[in-house]
A and B are shown apart, each in its own frame.
Chain A
Amino acid sequence: MSESVRIFQLSERSILIEFNRDINKSLLYFLLNLKENIFLNKGEQILQVTNTYNSLLVIYKSTINNLYSEKDNFLELISDVSTTDMPKTPTRKIPVCYELDFGLDLEEVSKKTGLSISEIIKRHTRPIYTVYFIGFLPGFPYLGGMDSSLFCRRKSNPRSKINSGSVGIAGYQTGIYPSSSPGGWQIIGRTPLSLFDSHKTDTPCVLSPGDSLQFESISKEEFDDLQSHPSDIKL
């Protein structure tokens, strides 16, 4: 493990732990376990630990004085992680309307991937995705498991506004905008589901790292209906 890890001081008060390994569920589960180990062992020094696909960012309460001892400490915690499989979680169904009104970049993605729009929808709704982390915007889930034939680079000039609920592709990633925001993802559809509620400060996000989900194609009528009756959405 140690030969594929990079422990890098990102700022006065933070250390980035990055694994040079394939992005997959077992790496995610490994990271989530390591995150827990760090909180358990270093909780007093630490303000926060966040994960992405292949990294943890550890934020300290005060300036890091001795990087070497922190590195040694992390290498030890890394070797202590038990690499058991991801526990099975129920698959949640996320309704998405892929009509062109919402799928602003479907035609561009079609051109870039060489796939028809109906084929894009088919390949986007087929897999079971894993929530790797929440980032970019409050409640924005980064999902793994996208069909690699849907690969499409981010727009080189980001849009100044992308509507809440928009579903997008960036490189090999797919995700959902939980609120309106500027952004560079290729937009292929929209969900009526609300992903983030700031009033629930203990569980503000509908989705958490480790969750499984699948997209379900719905019509514009169903979209309108679910948007006006959000309690009808069964996850």
Chain B
Amino acid sequence: MSIYIHKAGLYSSLQDKGRFAGMPYGVPISGAMDQNLYHFTNHILENPPNSSSMEFYQQGLELEFTSPTFMCIGALGGDFKLNDKAVEPFEILKIKKGDYLKIKQLTKGNWGYIAVKGGFESEGPFNSQSFYEPITKRQFENDDVLIYRAFDGVSGGESPVLDMSYYTSTELEVSEGPEFYKLSQTLDYQLKHAEFSLSTSLNRMAYQIQERLANDLEEIITGPVLPGTIQFTPAGKMIVLMRDAQVTGGYPRILQFSEKSINQLSQMRVKSKFTFKLTGINSEKI
């Protein structure tokens, strides 16, 4: 009925589409960092759309299954072994009691997903199983147990193929944020033409951009923010809010990532280079 977590790896957690019910109480949306990969992996197992998956960061997991199910690993590339035999991402793997999965490392991307038939069972405050401290535990630790409903039937046939070109683009789609219009022409030009890179500060809450730009904007009166909002701090740092982002913020919101570009960015590693492609999602005026 469960997975026994021998080695929990880094920042491993349970994630789904996220929660909106807690926003009025200041509870972040959360949910899988890469919603595209998360949905794709669940889709392979023909799971209901909001089934929870185990999300992990880069490396070092060892898991033992204690009852039968079908399992699928969602990852852009990596070194995975089931009972010491190499397995591929997106394979539908029939699991029996005692099977042992080792995830040595991801060779591409930051976040991977382990889905089982029907999803995992856990408490779901505000209608979501996504981890977020203080409303759930922070992350999995060694010797934790993760419950699922045993499944001994048959599953899917051909696995669909993930469109990897989704992740190779270094041009990230953004739209103007609410305070974009306040930027100087120089900043406007830099944002549209310069190349940026990711700093080492990457987590579920935010990814920081390495390059700094001169910021002479006034602080704003605190307003709503979302995953994908780029905040511009007084020190000139650009912070891309990710899935565990707070629901409000007081720094100017200069750009907004599209859903697709949040997923793309989530998988980019430290020092990855990218440019912004400004699209017209909100170019219309009243």
Residues on A facing B (Cβ under 8 Å): 6-14, 16, 18, 23, 47-48, 50, 52-55, 57, 59, 67-68, 71, 133-140, 142, 153-154, 156-157, 170-171, 173, 178-179, 196, 198, 201, 204-205
Contacts and interface: CB of A to CB of B under 8 A. Distances in A.
A59 B286 CA distance: 20
Contacts of B216: none
Interface residues of B, number: 38
Interface stretch (B20-28, B49-57, B91-99, B112-120): B20-28
B188 to A, nearest CB: 18
B224 A57 contact: yes
B186 interface: no
Nearest to A137: B26
A196 B20 contact: no
Contacts of A170: 222, 250
Given A10-B226, A53-B222, A201-B126, A139 B25 contact: yes
A53 B226 contact: no
Chain B interface main SS type: loop
A6 B179 CA distance: 12
A12 B258 contact: yes
Interface in B227-286: 228-229, 233-235, 246-250, 256, 258-259, 281-282, 284, 286
B224 A55 contact: yes
Contacts of A135: 26, 222, 224, 246-248
A48 B20 contact: yes
A47 B20 CA distance: 7
A54 B234 CA distance: 22
A6 B229 CA distance: 18
A171 B219 CA distance: 9
B135 A138 contact: yes
Nearest to A75: B286
Contact of A52 (B21, B134, B223): B223
25 contacts: A8-B282, A9-B282, A9-B284, A11-B258, A11-B281, A13-B259, A23-B221, A47-B20, A48-B24, A55-B223, A55-B224, A59-B23, A67-B284, A133-B24, A134-B24, A134-B25, A135-B246, A138-B134, A170-B222, A171-B219, A173-B221, A179-B134, A196-B25, A196-B26, A201-B126
B284 A154 contact: no
A2 to B, nearest CB: 8
Interface in B1-33: 20-27
B241 to A, nearest CB: 11
A77 B192 CA distance: 36
B109 interface: no
Given A136-B222, A179-B134, A156 B259 contact: no
Contact of B134 (A11, A59, A196): A196
B223 A136 contact: no
A9 B281 contact: yes
Nearest to B226: A11
Contacts of B175: 9, 11
A201 B125 contact: yes
Given A11-B258, A135-B247, A153 B26 contact: no
A89 B135 CA distance: 29
A52 to B, nearest CB: 5
Contacts of B24: 48, 50, 133-134
Nearest to A50: B23
A198 B132 CA distance: 11
A136 B226 contact: no
Contacts of A178: 26
B26 A10 contact: no
Nearest to A55: B223
A65 to B, nearest CB: 12
Question: Which of A57, A178, A205 has most chain B Cβ within 10 Å?
Answer: A57
Contacts of A173: 221-222
- Most chain B CB inside 10 Å of its own CB: which residue of A7, A67, A201: A201
A14 B226 contact: yes
A199 to B, nearest CB: 8
A50 B22 contact: no
Sorted nearest first, the 3 A-B pairs with minimum C-beta distance are A135-B248, A57-B224, A198-B135
B125 A52 contact: no
B263 to A, nearest CB: 13
Contacts of B23: 48, 50, 59
B286 A205 contact: no
A156 B224 contact: no
Contacts of B259: 11-13
Nearest to B248: A135
A160 to B, nearest CB: 11
A52 B219 contact: no
B126 A153 contact: no
